[in-house]
Chain A
Amino acid sequence: GAGVSQSPSNKVTEKGKDVELRCDPISGHTALYWYRQSLGQGLEFLIYFQGNSAPDKSGLPSDRFSAERTGGSVSTLTIQRTQQEDSAVYLCASSNSRGRNNEQFFGPGTRLTVL
């Protein structure tokens, strides 16, 4: 079946502009995660959605970052007033938390470059 998809695959923007990144999780997966991967760094947790529960936003680096998940499926990560340090690959993952195996399946990522 289809895996996690993300769009766009690449985004170049100017400092100060807002950007929206989209994630389509695997159908039926109740949990959705956003991570950020900077060059040479690990994957930094940003935000986590689980079903209809309030999201865990503890990883968001500043109030310029926000995310929503509509209808328990598609999610959008929004970065307002982008800064150069926001340049990174933004990865989305989903998992079926109802199952015993809670493997997180990652999307291909969106490479964001802030000029």
Chain B
Amino acid sequence: GENVEQHPSTLSVQEGDSAVIKCTYSDSASNYFPWYKQELGKRPQLIIDIRSNVGEKKDQRIAVTLNKTAKHFSLHITETQPEDSAVYFCAASNQAGTALIFGKGTTLSVSS
């Protein structure tokens, strides 16, 4: 079955810096890759997703890149702000709408 590895487990940056979180997946059939943000004590919320027919997607300060050949995808946050502090999870599935296999999460801390 699918296995998703996520790095780093913790990431500390200064406000205004960029943050990059990387994930790898094992199942070449996976074609849907969402990223979820979970603030302390709250439920996970989707922040961006990408399907395997595109290599990059942007939404304001957030971007995701996908390399199907290498089977890895990354989350890029630019101009980080303290409110970006949270746990970020990457996930993969072989079809949007089916169960997601999650990475173990990255705790991002943005200090002002």
Residues in A lying within 8 Å of B, measured CB to CB: 31, 33, 35, 40-45, 48, 50, 56, 58-59, 91, 95, 97, 102-104, 106-109
* B97 and A43 within 8 A (CB): no
Interchain residue pairs with CB less than 8 A apart (13): A33-B99, A42-B4, A42-B6, A42-B105, A43-B91, A43-B100, A43-B102, A45-B100, A50-B98, A91-B43, A102-B32, A102-B97, A107-B43
Contacts of B1 in A (CB 8 A): 58
- Contact (A48, B98) CB under 8 Å given A58-B1, A104-B46, A107-B43: yes
Select one of A33, A43, A48, A102 contacting B96, CB under 8 A: A102
B44 contacts A43, C-beta separation under 8 Å? yes
A103 to B49, CA, bound (A): 9
- Interface hits, B56-112 → A, CB 8 Å: 89, 91, 96-105
Q: Cβ of B89 and Cβ of A42 under 8 Å apart?
A: yes
A33: chain B residues at CB < 8 Å are 99-100
Given contacts A50-B97, A95-B97, contact A42 B102 (CB under 8 A): yes
Question: In the complex the two chains form, what is the Cα distance from A33 to B105 in whole Å?
Answer: 19
A103 engages B34 (CB within 8 Å): yes
> Which residues of the partner chain A approach B97 to less than 8 Å between Cβ atoms?
31, 50, 95, 97, 102
Question: With a CB–CB cut-off of 8 A, which chain B residues contact A102?
Answer: 32, 96-97
Residues of A within 8 A of B46 (CB): 103-104
**Which residue in chain B gives the minimum CB-CB distance to A44?**
B102
- List residues of B (2-17) whose CB comes within 8 Å of A's CBs: 4, 6
- Set of chain B residues within 8 Å of A31, measured between Cβ atoms: 97
A45 pairs with B104, CB closer than 8 A: no
Contact across chains for B44 and A106 when beta carbons are under 8 A apart: yes
Known: A106-B43, A109-B43. A59 touches B105 (CB 8 A): no
